[in-house]
């Protein structure tokens, strides 16, 4: 099931449903996945209620074994639920230069991987590798984990270059001072 509480330009229920089916098959997840695209305030409420984090986030996943799904008869047929912030998806898409529809799909894929048992915080890069592989297979731009890793590497490079530049300037000042003294 797909619920679009937050409208995203170019995205309709049918488009997202078709993508979810393709993504589930690519991941190897047989059970159904429910996807909610909503606003940041709703995602923030879910994040607070289930993760005790009072902040909006781009995507949340709720496996069928969690307390978010009350009807135990449907658990065998349902892998879980994914909540996506349409607001954050739009901001990400503008910042990264692709469509909001693609961003919602990237976030949905990320959530589906979590429902399939992947956990990028504990799996030594397994989820990241799988997400890159599936993103390419599904025709999507850079994935969520890949973007975070790229950002971290870029920050580290900037810090390293900045440190080298500072050291070079200090070394240059010392050399100039030494020449003056000679």
Q: What is the pLDDT of residues 63-72, one digit of tens each?
A: 997 444 445 5
Specify if 170 maps to a domain.
no
Domain count, the chain: 1
Let me know if residue 175 belongs to a domain. Answer: no
CATH code, domain with 6? 3.40.390.30
Helices 100-115 and 13-27: crossing angle in degrees, nearest 10, is 40
Q: H-helix or E-strand containing 35?
A: strand 32-38
The verdict on residue 152 lying in a domain is: no
Q: What percentage of the chain reaches a pLDDT higher than 70?
A: 71
Residues of the domain holding 44: 2-143
Question: How confident is the model at residue 73, as a pLDDT?
Answer: 54
Give tens-digit pLDDT for 70-101.
Answer: 455 555 589 999 999 999 999 999 988 899 99
Q: Does any domain span residue 108?
A: yes
What pLDDT shows up at residue 141?
Answer: 86
Q: How is residue 4 annotated by DSSP?
A: E
Of 4-8, 12-16, 70-74, 139-143, minimum mean pLDDT range: 70-74
**Cβ 138 vs Cβ 101: under 8 Å:** no
Taking the model in full, what pTM does it have?
0.75
In a domain, 180, yes or no: no
Contact 44, 34 (CB under 8 A): no
Query: Is 173 contained in some domain?
Result: no
Q: Has residue 165 been placed in a domain?
A: no
């Amino acid at each position: 099931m797909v619920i679009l509480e937050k409208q995203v330009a170019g995205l309709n229920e049918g488009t997202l449903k078709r993508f979810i089916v393709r993504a589930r098959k690519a991941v190897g997840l047989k059970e159904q996945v429910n996807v909610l695209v909503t606003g940041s305030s709703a995602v923030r409420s879910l994040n607070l209620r289930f993760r005790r984090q009072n902040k909006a986030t781009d995507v949340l996943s709720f496996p069928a074994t969690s307390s978010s799904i009350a009807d135990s008869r449907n658990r065998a047929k349902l892998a879980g639920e994914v909540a996506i912030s349409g607001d954050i998806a739009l901001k990400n898409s503008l910042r990264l230069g692709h469509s909001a529809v693609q961003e919602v799909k990237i976030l949905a894929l990320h959530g589906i991987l979590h429902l399939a048992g992947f956990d990028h915080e504990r799996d030594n890069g397994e989820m990241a590798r799988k997400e890159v592989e599936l993103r390419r297979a599904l025709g999507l731009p850079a994935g969520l984990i890949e973007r975070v890793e790229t950002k971290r590497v870029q920050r580290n490079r900037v810090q390293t270059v900045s440190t080298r530049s500072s050291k070079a300037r200090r070394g240059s000042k010392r050399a100039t001072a030494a020449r003056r003294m000679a």
